[in-house]
Amino acid sequence: MKFAVIVFPGSNCDMDLYYAIKDGVNEQVELVSYKETSLDGFDGILIPGGFSYGDYLRSGAIASHAPIINEVKRLAELGKPVLGICNGFQILTEIGLLPGTLTNNRQNRFICEDVQLIVENNQTQFTSEYELNEQITVPIAHGEGRYYCDDETLQMLKDNHQIVFKYTHDVNGSIEEIAGITNKQKNVLGMMPHPERAIETILGSDDGLKLFQSMVKKQKDEVQL
């Protein structure tokens, strides 16, 4: 499986994702500039955290107009897996691949700490290696990570089982403690916590590794079919 890590001006978790793939699951991975206009040859798209374009206007707003974005949308529509972490999640909501928005934390300050998540849906290509309701430890590092959507969208997320990860408690004010969601087709995942920073026990947790293993397993299962 060959992954593309999209790099924007201000990305600072691109190398974390790169090594999560290269060393964590031993798959091919390349850093791809936001200036590129083709993602041909890639099987999965990863959008890292950081502060794309300095978070000017609002997080992810300027990045949503980068040349590479049309290709991200195209591959998502083709069913390719797209994972956006932290700022990547914000970008995915800005470009309409995921519903809702991310806004200032309830505390109105940056939060950086380990948190506990509950796996709400393990029937996706991102979570198949987890147990349902498994509790995992993954770090967060964000100032605008408070997930919000209107009541109609929230009900849609519940009805379609699009809520994949929840915090075990109120971390940042996110509605119903939502930490990660998918699109209806379940091939696009956005999450605020950083699984790429939790792939080795020496880092404090390796609970994020199963997410990337799940993505690889899905691809290999499809090849065997």
Question: Quick one: pLDDT at residue 38?
Answer: 97
Nearest-angstrom CA–CA distance, 54 and 143: 13
Question: Quick one: pLDDT at residue 221?
Answer: 80
> Tell me: the pLDDT tens digits for 94-135?
999 999 999 999 999 999 999 999 999 999 999 999 999 999
Question: Quick one: pLDDT at residue 7?
Answer: 98
Catalytic positions, written as ranges: 86, 194, 196
Residues 6+ apart with CB under 8 A from 200: 24, 206, 209
Closest to 119 in 3D by CA, of 130, 103, 108, 107: 130
Nearest-angstrom CA–CA distance, 49 and 12: 6
Q: From the first residue on, what is the mean pLDDT of each consecutive set of 10 residues in the chain (225 residues)? A: 96 97 97 97 97 88 96 97 98 98 96 98 98 98 97 98 98 98 98 97 95 91 69
How much is the pTM? 0.96
What is the Cβ-side half-sphere exposure of residue 176, based on CA atoms within 13 angstroms? 15
Closest to 172 in 3D by CA, of 140, 136, 196: 140
Can you name the CATH fold of 2-224?
Answer: Rossmann fold (3.40.50)
Closest to 4 in 3D by CA, of 21, 16, 25: 21
DSSP character string of 185-213:
TS-EEEESS-GGG-SBGGGTB-TTHHHHH
